[in-house]
Structure formats: structure tokens, C-alpha cells
Amino acid sequence: MRLLRCALAAGCAVFLGGSTASAAPERPAYALILANNTGTEPQQAPLRYADDDGARYHELLAPRTKEAVLLTVLDADTQALHPGLAARTAPPTRAALRDALARLNARMAADKARGAEPVLYFVFTGHGKRGPAGEGAVSLLDGAFTRTDLYTQVLASSTASRIHLIVDACDSYYFVNSRGALPVAPAQAVAVRETLAARELSRYPHVGAVLSTTREQESHEWSAIRSGVFSHQVLSALAGAADVNADGRVEYSELSAFIAAANQGVDDVRGRLEVSIQPPALDRNAPLVDLGDRSRLGFLLMPPGLEGRVWVEDARGLRVAELNKERERSVVLGLPATQRYFLRSTGREAPFHFSREGAVVDAGGLAWRENTFAARGAVEDAFRDRLFSVPFGPRFYQGYMASIGQSPVADEQQPDLSP
């Protein structure tokens, strides 16, 4: 397959599209990431890692986009882990959000004028809450940002040809969807139905949504990875771990199956995620990411033979991608080329780095060494031992898609592993 042939070719700087790529419209991407540790309600305890997740989304998306905007207040620990990033952020306020949207919409309108199809990632990590009328909202520094705000200020006014919504927050389903709204007086019912009808994804077929909860459920953080569990899984998937057919694209169905596999072994219902992943109705096979796009990344190839639960940790001690790999499957991860990394599994590790942007490292040739490290608290045993305990690959994916009655991505081709 082209992706793997390029990965193994010593002179291949980036994964290139086929001969038809020139006929496809350009799809420049932009990212607007909001991350806020504080909530608007007195009973909402501050989160620890929403700002860390915002920084990780920025690191993942910035090399793949024309502009990535991060609205957050990084705490001292996060600023130490991401030197210089704080100077490039603004607080997550309504005014900062409005200004960022105006700038990005202007850039995307210019892209459209020259025939391109711009893509917008709208990402939120932080507190969420379902209000007394059933409307969901997320917390900005200066108050709640409601579902009405999302539809009127973000979706309806956007100049993007495609939008990927990614929300990691309590009650995130109700921030995007109106199902389950609380009853109102009969005299208000018609007005409420008309208002809600304008705030449904069905009115925006170019929008896809990746939401951390399908019900009134808390989101979970895990100190061992300095991250929300859902965001860690999404970030791992978008790095390439969910690319089940090795075509370099991560589609919504692949992300959904990857998260299902990652959580299948979690026995404690308090830690099990019930997510909502809705592809854009206009193109249900639209990729969330495409490693074939030119970007400022390095690429780690994990060939057949390498199997089991593995993760990539950078020199800062941050776990940037994790998966449980089926033995026969090949995986390519796209990672920022500026860091030094360790490929790890239980009891062993292999250091590696990228010599330049676009460089490919073959994990099959890495030198492994023994490594032992202590667990970080018995309270996290369920996450440490059971997350990613189920292998993910074509076998799991095909079974998962059959179980939900949906069409899978194109069948995996046997990769041509010759250089």
C-alpha cells in the first residue's frame, strides 16, 4: 500500500497522494482549541488537566493546519512542559473566542474564494453542564457557552466547508444535541421545538461531532498521563493509531471502533466511556486526519510482528499516543518531529527520534532495553491495567462495525513492504 511503501522508502519525506490528488480540491485546515480547568458552578471542582489536553491538541494539530489557536490559561506545571506556548495563547473568554472565529472565518472565506475547501477543528476540553431546560453548556472563564451559542456563533456563521467538533466535557452530548430536553409547559412546546430544530446537526450536514459522553456522565482524568481519558484516546487515534486499513486516513468509524476497543476491558462502570461519534452526514467517510497531507511531522512505522499494548512517551514524560496492536497489523503514527521519544511496553522501552520533519523511523529496527517504573496510585488501577487491554485492528474493527450495522472502511490491502 502507498502509505507503507512511502514509509519504508528512505528518501520519502512525506506521504504523498496518488496521481489523482492534483484533481482534488485543496483542503486547508484550521484549529480553534478552548481548554478551561475552571467551571461556572460552585460545585464543580477545578480540573487538573484540561489545559494539558488543550496543549496536546495544539501540538497534534498545529503541524497539520495553517493556523491553530489555543484559548486557555496554562498552569505552572503545563507551562514548564510546553515552554513558550503560554505566550501564544489567550484566555478562554467569549471575546477571545469571538475574535478568533472572526479571524479564522476571514481566512477560510479567502480559501473558498480561490476554490479550496477549508476545514475547521473546533475543540473544547473542560467542564460542561446540562441546564434546567435541558440545554448543554461548557464553561468559559467569563461564563457558560451554551448549545445556542455553539450553533449561532460557531456553526451558522462559519465559512468552513467541513467542521470537526471535538468536545471532552461532562454532559457533552447535550452541548451539541437536544435529545432528552426537559419538558416545558404546553404553551411553550411549539416555540421550543422550533428553536431546537435550528440547533440540530441535521441542519449542518458538513459538521461531524466527537463527544466524550452520551448521557449525564462525568469525564475522567488520569494523572499517570496528565490527561482526560477520552482526550488521550482521541489524540492517540488521530496520531494514526486508529487507522485500521493503513491508508493514512482516520475516519469517524475507525475512531469509534478504536475507542470502543480501548475501553472494552474496563470493568468499573464509573470509568467506562459512553461516547457519541457522529460523522458529517454530507460525507460519512470524511477523514478527521489524513497523514497523506503534507505536514511538519515525523512518522513511526510499527510493522507486523510488533504486538500488544504499546505507547509513545516523549522526553518530557508525556504519553502522546497509545494502542493495543494486533500482530498482523501495520501502524504509522505521525508525531511532532521536534521531540525525542521512547516506544514503551510493560517492562521495556526503545528510544528514537526523527532526524528531520518527514523522517520515518521503523520500529522493527529499534533497540529495546529493560525498563521498570512504578504505578502512580492504586486508585488508578482500572485505568492502568484495563484501558487498551483489547487489541485493536482489522479483526476487532470488522466485528465492531457488524455489531452496529454500519459499513466499514475499504478493506485493508496487503502492504507492499519493499522499499
Cell numbers for 12: 520519502
Q: What pLDDT is attached to residue 188?
A: 45
What b/e string do you get for 203-239 counting C-beta neighbours within 10 Å, with b at 16 or more?
Answer: ebebbbbbbbbbeebebbbbeebbbbbbbbbbbbbbb
Grid-cell match 503514527, residue found: 333
Q: Look at residue 250 and give its three-state secondary structure.
A: strand
Q: Under a CB-based contact definition with an 8 Å cutoff, are residues 350 and 367 in contact?
A: yes
**CA-angle at 177, arms to 171 and 179, nearest 5°:** 90
Q: What pLDDT is attached to residue 52?
A: 94
Please give the DSSP secondary-structure letter assigned to residue 156.
T
Q: Under a CB-based contact definition with an 8 Å cutoff, are residues 157 and 150 in contact?
A: no
Q: Look at residue 184 and give its three-state secondary structure.
A: coil
Please spell the DSSP secondary structure of 351-380, one letter per residue. Answer: EEE-SSTT-EEEGGG---EE-----S-GGG
Q: What pLDDT is attached to residue 206?
A: 97
Please spell the DSSP secondary structure of 125-163, one letter per residue. Answer: EE-EEE-TTS-EEEEETTEEEEHHHIIIIIITT---SEE
Q: What pLDDT is attached to residue 222?
A: 59
Q: What is the mean pLDDT of each run of 10 residues along the chain (419 residues)?
A: 47 39 80 94 84 95 96 96 96 98 98 97 94 87 95 97 95 79 43 52 95 59 72 95 94 95 67 80 95 83 95 92 94 93 93 94 95 46 58 87 83 48
Measured in whole angstroms, how far is the alpha carbon of residue 53 from the centre of its chain? 10
Number of helical H runs and strand E runs in the chain: 11, 22
CA-nearest of 241, 287, 285, 286 to 262 is: 241
Q: What pLDDT is attached to residue 189?
A: 43
Domains and CATH numbers, the chain: 29-179+199-290 (3.40.50.1460), 297-404 (2.60.40)
CA-nearest of 85, 67, 59 to 31 is: 67
Grid-cell match 451539541, residue found: 176
CA distance 78 to 74: 6
Q: What pLDDT is attached to residue 224?
A: 63
CA distance 345 to 364: 14
CA-nearest of 278, 239, 281, 277 to 260 is: 277
CA-nearest of 360, 350, 369, 356 to 330 is: 360
CA distance 250 to 285: 9
CA-nearest of 225, 311, 262, 288 to 52 is: 225
Q: What pLDDT is attached to residue 272?
A: 56
Pairing of the two strands 360-362 and 297-302: parallel
Facing residues of 350 across strands?
A: 343
